[in-house]
Amino acid sequence: MDFSLSEEQILIQQTAQHFAQQELAPIAADIDQHRQHNRFLDNLKQLAELGFMGLGVNSQYGGSEAGTVAFSLAITELAKACAATATTTSVTNMVAEVIQAIGNEAQKQRYLPKICSGEYAAASFCLTEPQAGSDPAAMQTKAVKQGKGWRLNGSKLYITSALYAGVFVVWAVTDPNAPKGKGISCFLVEAGSKGLDIAPPEKKMGQHGSYTSVVSFNDCHIPHSALLGSENSGYRIAVAELAGGRIGIGSLALGIGLAAMDYAKHFMTEREQFGQKIGHFQGLQWMLADSYTELEAARLLLMQAASLKQQGQPFATQAAMAKLYASEKANHACYTALQLLGGAGYLQDHPLERMSRDVRLTTIYEGTSEIQRLIIARDLLKEIL
């Protein structure tokens, strides 16, 4: 099996690495403290101009056509510097891929160039509801036909980039009498639509720069042309796109974990105790070795899932495995790195305090670790049970 990267993939990885270190890393702590939000938005625009908001989108719509492997590499590099920026980039790419995969030609022409160019600062994915998190089929947001369009009513939780998104992909029940999960459709709702209300950002544990809001639809009228894909096929779309999103979040977790361990590794070569550098103590060396080994395994799982998706092969189970392992081991890596710094790691003078908060979410969004285990187990048992 060939694990080497193409010249294009290496270039994208290096470009993302350079941008992350030059533009994101210097302000990551400020972004975390809700400062320099305009700079955060400027960086999103620059990333779009570099081609990072449409990595899987065809060039005819302004995309990079770089593929899923390059997407994973880019998100990992961005996350090493700023998890908030990486999250926004990942979700925006996810929305662009949904539109490309399911949208008609008019929808692609209308929205994809705006996402890829940065005309839209971001795009949002509206699926989760108060009573429909891990069970999206239980959603209660409804879309009713009215005249030449649809009337949307309901609310969505935890919507990334809602305050500055240009377009929202929204799921709603269109046939309340259909079996669970069968009467759901998908819609494109533009920012500024009448009846679309966005609440102030939630106060979160981490990833502060990536604003997360409640999005409500109060008699929000959208045209018939806003229907994405065929009517009542939205649940299938959601399940398919969540699988791809898990590659993004797994890659993001990997980046945070690697950044944490890199920081701890350098600290071990400087900090002295008992008359020697702490990097000379075998117990700490083993902690370092174990974490880097786990993160390398996570990287390979992510590359496998990304490669399968890029080749058009089934990848959902591999994406679940990669997301589960990468997010869990990245959490462990951040706490290990913090432990290696001792009391210093608990201070905001060092980035590990922020990284430990940022990484925690990766075991929750795009499907919790528990949901990933269910997906994996069901695939393993489907031919037996």
- The residue among 147 and 258 whose pLDDT is bigger is 258
366 is catalytic: yes
Instruction: Go through the domains of the chain in sequence order and give each one's CATH number.
Output: 7-121 (1.10.540.10), 125-233 (2.40.110.10), 236-381 (1.20.140.10)
pLDDT at 89: 98
Dump pLDDT digits (tens) for 78-124. 999 999 999 999 999 999 999 999 999 999 999 999 999 999 999 99
Q: Are strands 276-277 and 272-273 parallel, antiparallel or unpaired?
A: antiparallel
Nearest Cα residue to 365 out of 53, 133, 131 = 133
Q: Report which secondary-structure segment, H or E, holds 149.
A: strand 149-160
On the question of pLDDT at 385 being above 80, the answer is no
The pTM score is 0.95
On the question of pLDDT at 181 being above 90, the answer is no
The residue whose two tokens read 């005249």 is 147
Cα diameter, the chain: 80
- Locate 92 and state its tokens: 């925006």
Q: What is the Cα–Cα distance from 46 to 20, expressed in whole angstroms?
A: 11
Dump pLDDT digits (tens) for 26-62. 999 999 998 889 999 999 999 999 999 999 999 999 9
Dump pLDDT digits (tens) for 184-214. 999 999 999 999 999 999 999 999 999 999 9
The stretch 126-150 carries a mean pLDDT of 90
Name the catalytic one among 190, 353, 366, 370.
366
- Locate 27 and state its tokens: 């302000």
On the question of pLDDT at 147 being above 70, the answer is yes
On the question of pLDDT at 272 being above 80, the answer is no
| Least confident interval from 223-237, 245-259, 327-341 | 223-237
Q: Residues of the chain with pLDDT > 70: what percent?
A: 100
Dump pLDDT digits (tens) for 298-318. 999 999 999 999 999 999 999
The stretch 286-291 carries a mean pLDDT of 97
Q: Are strands 122-126 and 165-173 parallel, antiparallel or unpaired?
A: parallel
Q: Is the torsion defined by CA of 257, 261, 262, 263 positive or negative?
A: positive
Q: What is the Cα–Cα distance from 19 to 87, expressed in whole angstroms?
A: 16
The stretch 138-153 carries a mean pLDDT of 94
- The residue among 36 and 359 whose pLDDT is bigger is 359
Mean pLDDT of the chain: 94
CB 84 within 8 A of CB 77: no
pLDDT at 1: 63
On the question of pLDDT at 351 being above 70, the answer is yes
Burial per residue of 283-298, b for 16 or more beta-carbon CB atoms within 10 angstroms, e otherwise: ebeebbeebbebbeeb
Q: What is the Cα–Cα distance from 8 to 365, expressed in whole angstroms?
A: 30
The stretch 117-144 carries a mean pLDDT of 92
Q: Report which secondary-structure segment, H or E, holds 198.
A: strand 196-198
- State the Cα angle at 17 between 11 and 21, rounded to 5°: 150
Question: How distant is the alpha carbon of residue 292 from its chain centre?
Answer: 23
Question: How distant is the alpha carbon of residue 120 from its chain centre?
Answer: 17
pLDDT at 356: 97
pLDDT at 164: 96
